[in-house]
Structure 1
């Protein structure tokens, strides 16, 4: 298993405070989609190296055919190909990562984030992930588990609903309501 700390990426489909099942009746997990700019060669290089190392680990664990099947799944996906109509994924790669356990959440100064609304779809952060091989019911590939999240800055909410902090300013008793 190889741990990777990403560079700054856009976070989407964020479920880091309350787990959610990917399909109805499925196992609930904490998850997010890390959207990585195509020009972040350092992060992409670390992810590709982790995929290569996990593939070698898969060969030693599951046999020499591991990684050779046409259905072999690699988690790093091209946003321009897989989500061409979603502006958030333009000129980016993305990884969907999850965990059965709640990830640690910290701010840019590494202080714990306690407010459940602070990390959301549309904010920017770094993600700690671990690559591993899998072979389950004839399906083989590489996946990454979600370890921790460091929020770096706010961004425009991707959930369609604005945050209250963005809608309002401080209100004084002498303000006139229209």
Structure 2
């Protein structure tokens, strides 16, 4: 497989290799009574300078493009999506030495494998696997909150990873059985 490199076009970023957590990509999920959306927490290693640089540049562009929503100036306390896992989730080793952001969308993302073939089985893409995503950053002003958010585009699964949250996959729990008999008493 070719090396996965981040790229940016305006406020749209295609990440490098990241880890997925709280993945709700096949069915919309509502949090605390809010509208149901497709969503994922994107865990980005601090060593992935290219992805982080692309995200920061896209966030800056979203701030500029969204000045009208933000009161024609960029507030000093503006909320931005990129957060430090070491500071905000110190007890979760999945976030160690990583940044993270949450991305969501009302629209169902396209989900493909490393060969760009559609993934139809929701169990194939889970919290803990690795992939890359397209994200679109935009300014918002709602209910007194102002900031930049990450919209979820599409997802490409690159490889399996240790499942997060105690979930395990059936193929990891069992070994193949050579012979199965119908005789329960025998």
Shared fold (TM-score, shorter chain, > 0.5): yes
Give, in whole Å, the separation in 2 of the partners of 1:124 and 1:4: 17
Name which of 36, 39, 43 aligns with 1:35: 43
Unaligned runs of 5+ in 2: 1-9
Unaligned runs of 5+ in 1: none
1:1-178 superposed matches below 5 A: 2-23=11-32, 25-65=33-73, 67-70=74-77, 72-173=78-179
Task: Flag the 1:172–1:145 CA change in 2: closer, same or farther, 3 A.
Answer: same
1:55 aligned counterpart, secondary structure: helix
1:95 aligned counterpart, secondary structure: strand
CA offset at residue 17 of structure 1? 0.9
CA offset at residue 88 of structure 1? 0.2
Give, in whole Å, the separation in 1 of the partners of 2:50 and 2:65: 23
Question: Contact 2:128–2:161 (CA<8 Å) still a contact in 1?
Answer: yes
Report the TM-score, using the length of structure 2 for normalisation.
0.88
CA offset at residue 105 of structure 1? 0.3
- Count of equivalent residues: 173
C-alpha RMSD over aligned residues: 1.6
1:80 aligned counterpart, secondary structure: helix
CA offset at residue 125 of structure 1? 0.3
Report the TM-score, using the length of structure 1 for normalisation.
0.92
Tell me whether 100-109 or 164-173 shows the greater mean CA deviation: 164-173
Question: Contact 2:12–2:134 (CA<8 Å) still a contact in 1?
Answer: yes
CA offset at residue 136 of structure 1? 0.9
